[in-house]
Homo-oligomer: A and B are copies of this chain.
Amino acid sequence: MSASSQNLFPVVNCLAIRGVGLIGGSVALAARKQGVARKIIGIGTHAGRLQRAVDLGVIDEFTTDPEEGASQADVIVVATPVDCIAHDVIRMHRTLPETGWMTDAGSVKEQIVRQIGQELGEGHRFIGAHPLAGSEKTGFENARPDLYVGAMVVLTPDPETESRFTQSAQHFWQALGAKVVSMSASEHDQILARTSHLPHLVSAAMAAQIRPSDFPFASTGFGDTTRIAAGDPDLWTAIFRLNREATLASGQQFLQSVQDFLDAVKQDDQATLKELLKNSKQLRDGWSESRNGSIGSVGE
């Protein structure tokens, strides 16, 4: 799939955003900036919050009735928490016009895509997506029109997805400035377990080692290693649940790796210890260089 950012997406009448938070709000702002849709409606549960999003110019209109909102939409982006996405997609798919299609922004894919595929069957119009972009901030007040510019978006179409909608989803995310790649939901989840979900678990386990009396003696090394442990426990509980197998598999690999380091320390095996540290440094440096290189930067 090409990573060209040429705008091949035809303007649609109505883009609906289910879940107008940082992610959904940024999709709305980017879509507005790029002229992707004539009208952007927000679908949510709190009328007061949605009205504020209208007042701030993030969305044009809102509804608290998902079926009603879906019935107007050409495209729906579902940006609710990962454990709500499948339910939201299935519910809104019923009233979505026949030419309309849906995508999402969840950081776990296989369970969501499988559940939707099983429920909606062949010819459904949902294409799983994961934009690798975000922020520690939350809420549409922190949404940015450039959040997806240069960011990687992984599409995970399943065999039941109609290919024309997959192409539409590719052009849609590209129109927002993203680099789009396509892979199986299972492959996505295994990669993200290593690059995102396990790091979160490790960061949390590391933060758990400190005692309040240690605080004055912990500096930026500790701070960086545990930064993501400050994330939302509800959000992460849902992510680990939905990416259970891949998280467990990469967790076992990680435990073995820590044990290898500790064994080398215990046996005072300096050669092995240095080799392990060098290998890690090489991978970390390689990743760092890849961000500055031709592949472009991947926003979080």
Contact = CB atoms under 8 A, between A and B. Distances in A.
A9 interface: no
B196 A250 contact: no
**Number of copies of this kind of chain in the complex:** 2
Contacts of A200: 221
A202 B225 contact: yes
Interface of A is mostly: helix
Interface stretch (A94-102, A114-122, A140-148, A280-288): A280-288
A284 B221 contact: no
A255 B152 CA distance: 33
B258 A202 contact: yes
Given A202-B258, A270-B241, A194 B211 contact: yes
A226 interface: yes
A219 B300 contact: yes
B257 A258 contact: no
A6 interface: no
For chain A, which range describes its interface: under 10, 10 to 19, 20 to 34, or 35 or more residues?
35 or more
A198 B209 contact: yes
A218 to B, nearest CB: 4
Nearest to A234: B274
Given A216-B152, A265-B248, A290-B216, A273 B240 contact: yes
Interface in A202-239: 202-212, 214-231, 233-234, 236-237
A199 B258 CA distance: 11
A241 B261 CA distance: 12
A190 to B, nearest CB: 9
Contacts of A203: 221, 225, 280
Contact of A254 (B205, B214, B268, B278): B205
Contacts of A299: 219-220
Given A274-B233, A287-B215, A205 B298 contact: no
A300 B220 contact: yes
B236 A277 contact: yes
B261 A204 contact: yes
Contacts of A192: 217
A64 interface: no
Contacts of A198: 206, 209
Interface in A86-121: none
A262 interface: yes
Q: Which of A195, A240, A254, A273 has the largest number of chain B CB atoms within 10 A?
A: A195
B199 A222 contact: yes
Given A198-B209, A240-B265, 8 more contacts: A194-B214, A204-B277, A209-B250, A223-B291, A224-B228, A229-B281, A248-B262, A248-B265
